[in-house]
């Protein structure tokens, strides 16, 4: 019997088993600890027996590791992914959208892609042409996670003990406004989770405001971040700040269609 196929959101025929296996891997990647078959099945909305069969095959191929009844991403998947450039093939696919967002917002906009559990790599930067704004190229730069909007977005995905690992158990003071206390940081991250976006004002550099919003995969995991950076005086009022956040959220929706729509599994896949 031939492999069962279905249409993706782009109308291209796909193999259902492959799509389901990818959904399982995404679910495992989005979870900070190993998961049971039941937990995975609930996450991907598939029958437990179907998920169990997929896990058996993925385990045989080294894409999944099993410890008693719990599963995690496997050694061979880590080996294959080790040298993968997250920006490969992505920038050309989204650069026009990022440019349009920067032009519409009249601010410098960055796109960062998640690499592993604790890193976000800045892969695309655009500034508006219409007002002649230019900023130095920030691609490849690293900022303390607790003092950047994209960093806070990533930290908000982690458990408290993982936050300490990600920050090296130290919150460096960069400006008078930098958060340097883990209790205060956890309160800030709780707000990020509740509101769905992260911001910094004078925390990384005095006079600079930044806001970051998430792009999530089919399993709800953080796959990328869209942010804007601006002089604080140009944003100025709460009303204008709210307006820019709304513009950034709309831009993230446009980007998500480009980045993850071709790999998102269809909801409620049939048996």
Tell me which residue of 62, 51, 59 sits closest to 21, measured CA to CA.
51
Q: What is the pTM of this model?
A: 0.69
For domain 91-260, the CATH class is alpha beta
CB-based contact 248:213 (threshold 8 Å): yes
| Domain ranges for the chain | 5-81, 91-260
Give pLDDT, residue 17.
87
Q: Please state at what angle helix 37-44 crosses helix 48-60, rounded to 10 degrees.
A: 110
Buried b (16+ CB within 10 A) or exposed e, 156-183: bbbeeeebeebbeeebeebeeebbeebe
- Per residue of the chain (271 residues), give pLDDT as tens: 344 444 444 444 347 889 899 889 988 887 778 999 999 999 999 999 999 999 999 999 999 999 999 999 988 887 777 666 666 667 778 888 999 999 999 999 999 988 878 888 888 899 886 554 455 566 556 789 999 999 999 999 999 999 999 999 999 999 999 999 999 999 999 999 999 999 999 999 999 999 999 998 766 788 889 999 999 888 878 888 899 999 999 999 988 887 764 444 333 333 3
Per DSSP, the three-state class of 9 is coil
Query: Do 91-260 and 5-81 have the same topology in CATH?
Result: no
Measured between its terminal Cα atoms, the distance across the chain in Å is: 16
Give pLDDT, residue 86.
60
Q: Which residues is 216 bridged to in the sheet?
A: 222
Distance of alpha carbon 159 from the chain centroid: 16
Give pLDDT, residue 40.
94
Give pLDDT, residue 177.
96
For domain 5-81, the CATH class is mainly alpha
């Amino acid at each position: 019997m031939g492999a069962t196929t279905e249409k993706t959101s782009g109308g291209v025929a796909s193999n259902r088993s492959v799509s389901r296996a990818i959904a399982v891997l995404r679910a495992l990647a989005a979870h900070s600890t190993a998961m049971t078959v039941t937990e995975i099945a609930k996450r991907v909305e598939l029958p437990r027996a179907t998920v169990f069969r997929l896990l058996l095959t993925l385990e045989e191929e080294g894409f999944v590791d099993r410890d008693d009844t719990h599963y995690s991403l496997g050694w061979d998947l880590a080996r294959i992914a080790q040298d993968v450039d997250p920006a490969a093939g992505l920038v050309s696919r989204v650069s026009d959208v990022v440019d349009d967002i920067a032009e519409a917002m009249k601010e410098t906009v960055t796109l960062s892609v998640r690499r592993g559990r604790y890193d976000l790599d800045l892969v695309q930067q655009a500034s508006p042409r219409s007002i002649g704004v230019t900023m130095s190229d920030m691609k490849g730069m690293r900022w303390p996670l607790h003092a950047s909007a994209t960093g806070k977005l990533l930290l908000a995905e982690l458990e408290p003990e993982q936050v300490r690992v990600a920050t090296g158990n130290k919150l460096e003071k960069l400006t008078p406004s930098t958060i340097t206390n883990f209790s205060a940081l956890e309160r800030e991250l709780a707000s990020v989770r509740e509101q769905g976006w992260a911001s910094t004002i004078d925390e990384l550099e005095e006079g600079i405001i930044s806001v970051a919003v998430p792009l999530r995969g089919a399993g709800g995991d953080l796959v990328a971040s869209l942010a804007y950076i601006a002089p604080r005086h140009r944003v100025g009022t709460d009303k204008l700040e709210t307006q820019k956040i709304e513009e950034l959220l709309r831009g993230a929706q446009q980007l998500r269609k480009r980045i993850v729509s071709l790999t998102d599994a269809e909801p409620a896949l049939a048996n």
